[in-house]
Amino acid sequence: MPQLVSIQEISEETGLEESLLRFYESEYPSELPDKILQGDMLAFDVCAIEAFQRIHDLHQGEQLEPTAGEGRYARVIAVTSGKGGVGKTNIALNLAIEMQRFGKMCIVLDADMGMANVHLLAGIPAGNNIRDIISSGRDIVDIIAEGPEGIGIIPGGGGILSLADSSRHDRMKVIDALRTVEKEAEVIIVDTGAGMGSSVRDFLACADDLLFVLSPDITSLADAYGLLKALHHEKMSERPVYSVINMVETLKQAAGVAHRFSSCAHEFLGRNVENIGYILKDSTVAAATVRRTPYSVFKPQARVSKNTRNIAAALLKNEESTIRVSSAFGRYMNLLRAQKM
Ligand SMILES: Nc1ncnc2c1ncn2[C@@H]1O[C@H](COP(=O)(O)OP(=O)(O)OP(=O)(O)O)[C@@H](O)[C@H]1O
Ligand SMILES: [Mg+2]
């Protein structure tokens, strides 16, 4: 029988007020053990005392530097769009390369339900994918492929966000494996595919940053707004939302699309969407694809590569100085648990 403690006992033990403990409980559920039913009330395992204390220490700022790999998580940036074919996969991959060049350890997670093709653009063989965790009990470490310039690539095998045909246990196993990656990498860029499916939207609600890719095509703007609206009405957090306008002919065109998207979001949903950059339409992208090389590697001095570098720099500038003690995949796991998969 595990030793159980109530929130009052944790409060007495740690000297932290109950209201603060409840705040930590709602903010950092993935950091705490599951509650256990004791009689007619829910109690924590005794190890929660230490977990609450640790959250508190980290939350207090930098007084307590966490040891590497413990209590600090990668920044999880979800790249999405309302409409397909706007450049998400190219942007996810090249952004990771540019961020890696800025000294961040980056991993690209291919979570596209349809065309999982990050590995194709990166020029690496299909190899293992995340579904092998379930089918052959592989370790996540064996699944991370080494991509260009040392970035990591996790091939999704199509549909890891839904895993519709898997049991609850299997799904949790995959998400748990991704949580371990979150402790090792500094940035995880997730190519989510176009985000209209509900499981993709669930994940988008949990990511640290949302990067909406739009093209100048008018349907791209309408579909991006449709997705943002759906997220807003469902479960979206207050975490940052950015737009990137891709395949533009001129800066003026990019500014126009970004402005329309931000205005609609602000006016109708009361949400801030910050434009974090644009990428010009450039034949380098197609030329790099033919060579199965990311454009940032193929031609680092091309306009598209410079544009992508600027976006990487802007995202890193916005990096919170605080230590991320809350895990995006942990939040996703909790959301799925709450939905009683
Ligand atoms: N800046 C650009 N200039 C020119 N062509 C581009 C640019 N960005 C992307 N493309 C082209 O647009 C097409 C779609 O790109 P990509 O596959 O990255 O989009 P996607 O949003 O991931 O698509 P999907 O929704 O199908 O996953 C590709 O043919 C790619 O070469
Ligand atoms: Mg894609």
Q: Which ligand is nearest the CA of 286, by number?
A: 1
The reply to whether 38 falls in a domain is yes
Residues 139 and 39 in one domain: no
55-64, 172-181, 188-197, 252-261, range with greatest mean pLDDT: 252-261
Enter the tokens of residue 323: 């230590």
Q: Rounded distance, CA 129 to CA 117, Å? A: 12
pLDDT, one tens digit per residue, over 78-109 is 999 999 999 999 999 999 999 999 999 999 99
CATH of the domain at 19: 1.10.1660
pLDDT, one tens digit per residue, over 214-224 is 999 999 999 99
φ/ψ of 80, rounded to 5, equals: -145, 175
- In which residue are the tokens 């709602």 written? 26
Q: CB neighbours of 86 closer than 8 A, spacing ≥ 6?
A: 213, 214, 215, 217, 220, 246, 247
Q: What is the pLDDT of residue 269?
A: 92
CATH of the domain at 190: 3.40.50.300
Q: What is the pLDDT of residue 75?
A: 94
Report the SS3 class of residue 213. Answer: strand
In the chain the beta strands, taken as DSSP E runs, fall at 4-5, 36-38, 41-45, 75-81, 106-110, 145-146, 152-154, 187-194, 209-214, 241-248, 274-280
Q: What is the pLDDT of residue 263?
A: 97
Lowest model confidence (mean pLDDT) among 144-148, 152-156, 305-309, 322-326? 322-326
Residues 201 and 278 in one domain: yes
193 Cβ below 6 A of ligand 1: yes
Q: What is the pLDDT of residue 55?
A: 81
Residues 56 and 83 in one domain: no
Does the pLDDT at position 64 exceed 60? no
Q: From ligand 1's centre to the CA of 5, what distance in Å?
A: 53
Pairing of strands 152-154, 145-146: antiparallel
- In which residue are the tokens 């999405």 written? 80
Q: From ligand 1's centre to the CA of 247, what distance in Å?
A: 9
304 Cβ below 6 A of ligand 1: yes
Of 70 and 240, which is predicted with more confidence?
240
Residues 86 and 53 in one domain: no
The reply to whether 139 falls in a domain is yes
Does the pLDDT at position 203 exceed 80? yes
Pairing of strands 41-45, 75-81: unpaired
Residues 102 and 247 in one domain: yes
Lowest model confidence (mean pLDDT) among 1-10, 93-102, 142-151, 177-186? 1-10
Residues 61 and 81 in one domain: no
The reply to whether 333 falls in a domain is no
82-86, 87-91, 110-114, 206-210, range with greatest mean pLDDT: 87-91
Residues 142 and 244 in one domain: yes
Q: What is the pLDDT of residue 63?
A: 42
Identify which of 79, 81, 83, 86 to mutate to test ligand 1's pocket (most ligand atoms within 8 A of the CB). 86
The last residue of a domain, from among 15, 36, 65: 65
The reply to whether 70 falls in a domain is no
Number of structural domains the chain divides into:
2
Output the residue whose Cα is nearest ligand 1's atom 9: 87
pLDDT mean across residues, the chain: 86
247 Cβ below 6 A of ligand 1: yes
Does the pLDDT at position 9 exceed 70? yes
Residues 160 and 104 in one domain: yes
Residues 241 and 124 in one domain: yes
The last residue of a domain, from among 13, 36, 65: 65
The reply to whether 242 falls in a domain is yes
Identify residue 23 by its one-letter amino acid code.
F
Residues 181 and 312 in one domain: yes
The last residue of a domain, from among 65, 85, 110: 65
Q: What is the pLDDT of residue 133?
A: 85
Q: Which domain holds residue 301?
A: 75-317
Residue 121: which of 297, 257, 246 has the closest Cα? 297
Tell me how far CA of residue 144 lies from CA of 80, 124, 178, 271, in angstroms: 22, 11, 11, 35
Residues 159 and 52 in one domain: no
Output the residue whose Cα is nearest ligand 1's atom 26: 85
The reply to whether 215 falls in a domain is yes
The reply to whether 322 falls in a domain is no
Lowest model confidence (mean pLDDT) among 21-35, 54-68, 148-162, 299-313? 54-68
Helix 7-14 vs helix 48-59: crossing angle, to nearest 10: 60
Q: What is the mean pLDDT of residues 305-322?
A: 86
Residues 33 and 176 in one domain: no
Q: What is the pLDDT of residue 104?
A: 95
The reply to whether 331 falls in a domain is no
